[in-house]
Chains A and B, each alone.
Chain A
Amino acid sequence: MKSRLSGNEAVAYALQQLNPDVMGAFPITPSTEIPEYFAQYVADGQVNTEFVTVESEHSSMSVCIAAQAAGARSVCATSSCGLALMYELLYVAASCRLPITLACVNRALTGPININNDHSDSMGARDSGWIQIYAENNQEAYDNIIMAMPIGETPGVRLPVMSCMDGFITSHAVENIELLDSDVVQGFIGEYQPENYLLKKENPLAVGPYDVSAYYMEHKVMQAEAMKAAKNRILEVAADFEKISGRRYGLLEEYRMEDAELALVLIGSTAGTAKAAVDQLRAKGEKAGLVKIRVFRPFPGQELAKVLAGTKAVAIMDKSEGLAGGGGPLFAETRSALYDLPERPYLISIVYGLGGRDVKTDDIETVFSRLAHISSSSQIGPVYTHMGQRSKEETV
């Protein structure tokens, strides 16, 4: 079914089709429309969901953890400081192996306060043990959240899933979208059948122990194994999803990478802008390409290395400033992933778009022209720069 929806509407509509048992709901810009739209589905009796309008995101995630442990499917949505307030509990959810679904509408973290898009919120939670999948547009935001439960709930994985989209750029922009029938969605996710849960009569369950040194590390290793196993499961679910939707997804998306010598690696909605820039450069005969990271956790390091193996110069564009002193988090992961290549391309880190700073095709072309210069001169220049700084000479 064709429709026109904003990203938030699309995700809310998907959640209605998923019909979760429990939703934790707390307002924050820009994700707040998701619980608003969902509240209307509740008011109209279209879902079986207990809609728990909590007094904070901390309680929202606490409700989701408890409900999922009790044997229910639970979901919530948040952004920015809301995700930061959940931070402690993100680890609890992952370590209790509870496949909660969270819609993260990416927004800058406060410091200073800013309500616009970047990835600092979910990047801050990248080591919390959640699977992280990022959308480029509304269609992907809708599709990704429908794939979350089959990925997270599978016994070899049992991890929570964070389905991310860019605040305002994706969450508030209305785009054409292809929606699935609700029956198809229900058939795709199936019944939730956890092995053990709090409300199971036959076998009472205790969740969340004090875990002493003699056991704690074994439990962390089990989580690590689950995250490794998630990679394959994400691909299996994507293959099943293609059967019902005709849309194909991988861990990453290669755009005109077949013979690319100059490439970008980035996440989210900027991929749309970058694709347009790549097309313009290709029209001029430049061997330009793009790799869009769809799944950031588990990180597709080997796949990324394979894709970038033939390139000469690559810019890794981070929409979050990790303040590590040497480049953004995507840059660090990518550079590490390429270490084992026999011949490595030049790699530069460009931090861009913080706090909603716009990025245009011209900006992307400037990055490519720098890559072209690096490639032809074999002079890398500054490795770690910020795009479009008014206080500095153009160093992108």
Chain B
Amino acid sequence: MSKVYNLKREVEKPARLTGGHRLCAGCGAGVVVSGVLRALDQEDRAVVVNATSCLEVSTFMYPYTAYMDSYIHSAFENSAATCSGVEAAYKALQRRGQVEGTVKFITFAGDGGTYDIGFQSLSGAMERGHDMVYVCYDNEAYMNTGIQRSSSTPAFARTTTTPVGSAVKGKKQNKKDLTEILVAHNIPYVAQTAPIGNFKDLHTKSHKAIYTEGPCFLNILSPCPRGWDYPMEKLAQITKLAVDTCVWPLYEVEEGVWHLSYRPKKKLAVDEFLRPQGRFSHMFQKGNEWMIEEAQAYVDQKWERLLEHTGA
């Protein structure tokens, strides 16, 4: 990617995830997947892998696929192993002279399929060093089955398995820091990004992940209007607020070197991100101010740590 990023040029490329899929209006997943696949060089082919997820059931309902590239879904917890199997086949067939051109391997899985049930499969594939990209589209709960909590769900969030009641108010635990766990795998490239602004950050990191040899991991924030409980037209605004409050910082770790990709001009208070979302509405009730304070303290602590890592 020698040319300077140009959104207009990028969106004029033929879409690899076509319209007509069944994802909800206001869902981040479609934007994320289109954005990542746009980073493929036009002449290159890809095999796209999905974990069982909203994305999978919405983009490949028999007999219609929304993907222009080859695609495989097998189960919920094995998308990384599945991707590594396709990549292994590619290597073997290449040696036999039975496959033409460059083919890239990209997995998409939700946070349930990544942070939880697919975690072992992901860790194994990264450790083995397959030439693949694993993308987690992180919407912070099991949305496909009806908004149950995952280890990616942030503290205090209301889900169907962490309801708000008189004794317990939403999720008790903080979100697992999966991106850091992937950094600890010492793989060539790990990045955290989100579809904001002109998608330059998402595009640049996707291209880097796809064209860096070896296993690469992208964690991409992907808001869910049903689970997060926001009006669908607020997708872009909520995503931007996650980044500007430093709830979801943008950074990358390339060959072990941390780099902060974006520093908000003014770091917004966390309640700006929480307030527009129904899943956090109880935090704004009288007497629950401590929740917002705790949420702010957690974000601040994580942000400071990230600044130390990145030397920013």
Which residues of chain B are within 8 angstroms of A49 by Cβ–Cβ distance?
92
Interface residues of B in 70-91 (CB under 8 A from A): 70-75, 77-78, 80-86, 88-91
Whether the pair B124, A54 counts as a contact (CB closer than 8 A) is yes
Whether the pair B74, A52 counts as a contact (CB closer than 8 A) is no
Whether the pair A64, B85 counts as a contact (CB closer than 8 A) is yes
The residue from A52, A56, A70, A210 contacting B90, defined by CB atoms under 8 A apart: A70
- CA–CA, A24 and B84, complex, Å: 10
Which residues of chain B are within 8 angstroms of A69 by Cβ–Cβ distance?
72, 86
Which residues of chain B are within 8 angstroms of A24 by Cβ–Cβ distance?
85
Q: State whether the Cβ of A65 lies closer than 8 Å to any Cβ in chain B.
A: yes
Q: State whether the Cβ of A242 lies closer than 8 Å to any Cβ in chain B.
A: no
Measured between C-beta atoms, what is the minimum distance from B45 to chain A in Å?
7
The residue from B65, B72, B100, B128 contacting A198, defined by CB atoms under 8 A apart: B72
Whether the pair A59, B91 counts as a contact (CB closer than 8 A) is no
Which residues of chain A are within 8 angstroms of B95 by Cβ–Cβ distance?
48
Whether the pair A199, B70 counts as a contact (CB closer than 8 A) is yes
Whether the pair A208, B65 counts as a contact (CB closer than 8 A) is no
Which residues of chain B are within 8 angstroms of A50 by Cβ–Cβ distance?
88-89, 91-92
Measured between C-beta atoms, what is the minimum distance from A47 to chain B in Å?
10
Which residues of chain A are within 8 angstroms of B100 by Cβ–Cβ distance?
201
Whether the pair B77, A58 counts as a contact (CB closer than 8 A) is yes
Whether the pair B84, A63 counts as a contact (CB closer than 8 A) is yes
Q: State whether the Cβ of B60 lies closer than 8 Å to any Cβ in chain A.
A: yes
Q: State whether the Cβ of B265 lies closer than 8 Å to any Cβ in chain A.
A: no
Q: State whether the Cβ of B103 lies closer than 8 Å to any Cβ in chain A.
A: yes
Q: State whether the Cβ of B57 lies closer than 8 Å to any Cβ in chain A.
A: yes
Chain A residues within 8 Å of chain B by Cβ, number: 43
Whether the pair A66, B93 counts as a contact (CB closer than 8 A) is no
Whether the pair A67, B89 counts as a contact (CB closer than 8 A) is yes
Q: State whether the Cβ of A92 lies closer than 8 Å to any Cβ in chain B.
A: yes
- CA–CA, A201 and B47, complex, Å: 11
- CA–CA, A62 and B100, complex, Å: 24
The residue from A58, A72, A201, A212 contacting B89, defined by CB atoms under 8 A apart: A72
Measured between C-beta atoms, what is the minimum distance from A226 to chain B in Å?
18
Which residues of chain A are within 8 angstroms of B297 by Cβ–Cβ distance?
none
Chain A contact residues: over half helix, strand or loop, or mixed?
A: mixed
Which residues of chain A are within 8 angstroms of B103 by Cβ–Cβ distance?
199
- CA–CA, A53 and B85, complex, Å: 11
Q: Known contacts A50-B88, A74-B89: does B82 contact A209 (CB below 8 Å)?
A: no
Whether the pair A58, B121 counts as a contact (CB closer than 8 A) is yes
Interface residues of A in 59-87 (CB under 8 A from B): 59, 62-72, 74
Which residues of chain B are within 8 angstroms of A201 by Cβ–Cβ distance?
45, 99-101
- CA–CA, A200 and B71, complex, Å: 12
Whether the pair A66, B81 counts as a contact (CB closer than 8 A) is yes
Nearest A residue to B62, CB-CB? A209
Whether the pair B73, A207 counts as a contact (CB closer than 8 A) is yes
Known contacts A58-B121, A70-B89, A208-B72; can you find 5 more A-B pairs with CB under 8 A?
A52-B84, A62-B85, A72-B92, A209-B60, A210-B57
Chain B residues near A (Cβ < 8 Å):
45, 47, 49, 56-57, 60-63, 65, 67-75, 77-78, 80-86, 88-93, 95-96, 98-101, 103, 120-121, 123-125, 127-128
7 A-B residue pairs with Cβ-Cβ distance under 8 Å, sorted by A, are A22-B88, A55-B127, A198-B86, A199-B89, A201-B101, A206-B65, A208-B72
